[in-house]
Amino acid sequence: MAAKKEIKEIYSSLKNEINHHNFLYHNKDQPEITDVEYDQLFQKLLKLEDEYLFLDKSDSPSSRVGDTPQSDLKEFIHEVPMLSLDNAFESEDLYDFEKKVFNKIKKQKLNYSCEPKIDGVAVSLIYEKGKFIKAGTRGDGEQGEDISHNVKTIKQIPLTLNGNNHPKKIEIRGEIYCEKTAFDKFNKEYLKTDEKKFANPRNFVAGSIRQLNPEIAASRPLKIQLHSLGYVDQKNFFKSHQEMLKTFLSWNLPINPDAKLVGSIEEVLSYCEKLTNKRETLNYEIDGVVIKIDDVSIQKELGFSSRSPKWSIAKKFKAEEGTTEVLSVNFQMGRTGSLTPVATLKPVKLGGVTISNATLHNMDEVERLDIRIGDFVKIKRAGDVIPKVIKVEKNKRKNKNRKIIQPTHCPSCSRPISFFEGLTPNLDLSKLNNDDRSCYGYSQFKENLKHFVSRQAMDIDGLGSKTIDQMVDKGIIKSVKDLYLLEKENFKELDGFAEKSINKLLSSINNSKSIKLSNFLYALGIKEIGLETSKNLSRKFSKIENIFSASVDDFISVDDIGEVASANLYAFFSDKHNIKFLDEMINLGFDLKAEQVISHISKLADKKIAITGKLSSISRNKLKSKLEDQGVKVVSSISKNTDYVIVGSDAGSKLKKAEALNIEIIKDENLDSFLMQNEN
């Protein structure tokens, strides 16, 4: 036993030594030993792990790579919602922000913590008793994706926090990014393998952390900075934001070296100006400054709105502008048959991103700008917003510059543009008699199909944009109906599909046949008919067959439907081709369930219910829909007015707040009986 204890001590000491050198190399850029000496230590560690199986390797430096690839990304539940920030664009916006704060609290002087807003990918790290447990993306703020296998490969992140003063459980938030120099170097090497280069560092990071194989993430130069807190199991663990950052640093977590405490909005503006001037010299992309009230007690007093904290704001940099030449204009067809002009530009770099295309929105905008092919134009880009042409430099215009004319016919199949209007969603590519992928019919069909399978429509999981493009281009799917006739053999020609992912997708397609009528109506993509209108139609008509014979007046009698929408509905459901398409879909075995008519007979009608944690038997979206059918208002935050809180595993602050307010808690295992008891 003594020998075993001695080996554990040697192993622990070796892990600490390697972690120390990792921190110096990756976080401080101040290595104390050579690469050869580091490799010798690492080989010694591997040898111990190979010889002694009783050693706990969960937080070993060797666990950063070599995990088996994930079959797919699991869900990650945020115990405290991961919200967005309100934006300030002008100085006045910051003064208004402070004024709103002073209206709610008694203090008339505040300290602010300022730091660069990194243009990366948001991430949450969970530590328990100082040990790294898992990591997840932002997602929708309540539910993201588990990317632990990839985050562990980022050597800046300690698998065990330094020191001893750690909460039992803490969620630390930050931003994964890639330095500009490392990104450029990687892109140059990547091009040598004949692969398409990455557009910008943020896209590169987003693609890297969502890989199923952690070896891919391990091979890429990802870095991280930690800047905020989600859930922590101890109240008042940090008294200020600055104290939190200093504690992070003591735990060997990387923070931004330019974070600074200031004492007024004037000093905030001075910080913003200095950072703007310094922006181009930084080795990472930023798109503004994050400003937070430093005092945590004031943060708690101010609280949150539904989408953002009331104690923080982001001062965004002014939209970057540049001038370039319009080389050509192409027209892209959307799912409703409308054409959108897109300008191909002479590449120009704005905010670290090379811009080569800009939307012109529609022909009214083209005429307003009086833009021509060959013109020099001023373009603007702010953050992730699609580049926009804001002005034509008419003083540089030449006589040979050509006017932009919207096509009247498809340049490929020669059909009039009006042919493509009203084809949603019954377009059958086999009837186009044209194999040219540039035909408007192909792009329209792809957009139709992407809308049809989307979450709020048929909710077919695993059928993403790239897969749809492949299936259409290879002729596997030529109509929406083909989607429900897919077999395993069809996936042999496709990239990225293994046995498990094929089975999962086919199961998801089959499950989508049993869906609400409202989701199916929304999936049809009829002009002016959104999800809420589809729900009203479902409540009114109950069955899709009842809609076939409806008149314009019948449609107008439905809540939220006016003359334009009713005309669109009547045109769609009186078209014999559409009726034939719908009959074929119904014959495939669809079970379209009518929307529940909200009635105060339900015991849950008008109740406010919150959901927290991971549910075992139903997804959040489906539970939310089920509750709304009974007239429930599903809320995202807990207050004294909340009637019930439904609790799954990994529930955090919402559960504690509900307990403190004596709100009735419905546990996951009791959910079915709770719903059944309250249906009538």
**Ramachandran region of residue 592, left (φ > 0), alpha (ψ -120 to 50) or beta?**
beta
At residue 321, φ and ψ (nearest 5 deg) are: -120, 155
The dihedral region occupied by 462, where left means phi > 0, alpha psi between -120 and 50, and beta the remainder, is: left
What is the sign of the dihedral through the CA atoms of 199, 200, 204 and 206? negative
Q: Is 117 a catalytic residue?
A: yes
Q: What is the signed CA dihedral for 564, 570, 573, 575, rounded to 10 degrees? A: -100
Mapped to the 3 state alphabet, what secondary structure does 297-364 carry?
Answer: HHHHHHCECCCCECCEEEEECCCEEEEEEEEEEEEEECCCCCEEEEEEEEEEEECCEEEEEEECCCHH
CB 289 within 8 A of CB 275: yes
Task: Give the active site residue among 117, 292, 446, 535.
Answer: 117
Q: How many CA atoms lie within 13 A of 671 on its CB side?
A: 23
Please state, in angstroms and rounded to a whole number, the distance separating the CA atoms of residues 162 and 174: 18
Q: Which residues touch 345 (CB under 8 Å, ≥6 apart)?
A: 324, 325, 326, 327, 355, 356, 357, 358, 377, 379
How many whole angstroms separate alpha carbon 91 and alpha carbon 95? 7
Residue identified by tokens 């994930």 is: 70
Q: Alpha-carbon distance 575 to 21, whole Å?
A: 71
Beta strand 644-647 with 608-612 is parallel
Taking residue 473's Cβ as centre, other Cβ atoms within 10 Å add up to: 12
Distance of alpha carbon 415 from alpha carbon 79, whole angstroms? 54
Nearest to 211 by CA among 145, 282, 280: 145
User: If phi over 0 gives left and psi between -120 and 50 gives alpha, with beta otherwise, what is residue 16?
Assistant: alpha
Spatial separation of the C-alpha atoms in residues 79 and 381, rounded to whole Å? 35
Q: Give yes or no for a cis peptide into 425 (omega within 30° of 0).
A: yes
Q: What does the DSSP 8-state code read for residue 395?
A: G
As beta bridge partners, residue 373 has: 402
Q: Which amino acid is located at 35 in the chain?
A: D
CA torsion 387-393-396-398 (nearest 10°) is 80
CA-wise closest residue to 575 among 447, 427, 456 = 427
Bridge partner list, 358:
343
Query: Which 3 state secondary structure label does DSSP give 167?
Result: coil
Other C-beta atoms closer than 10 Å to the C-beta of 331 total: 19
DSSP for residue 410 = -
Report the C-alpha gap between 651 and 649 in whole angstroms: 5
3-state secondary structure 57-90: CCCCHHHHCCCCCCCCCCEEECCCCCCCCCEECC
Q: At what angle do helices 2-26 and 35-51 cross, to 10 degrees?
A: 150
* CA-based R_g, the chain, Å: 28
Q: Which residues contact 439 (CB under 8 A, 6 or more apart)?
A: 410, 412, 413, 432
Residues assigned a catalytic role: 117
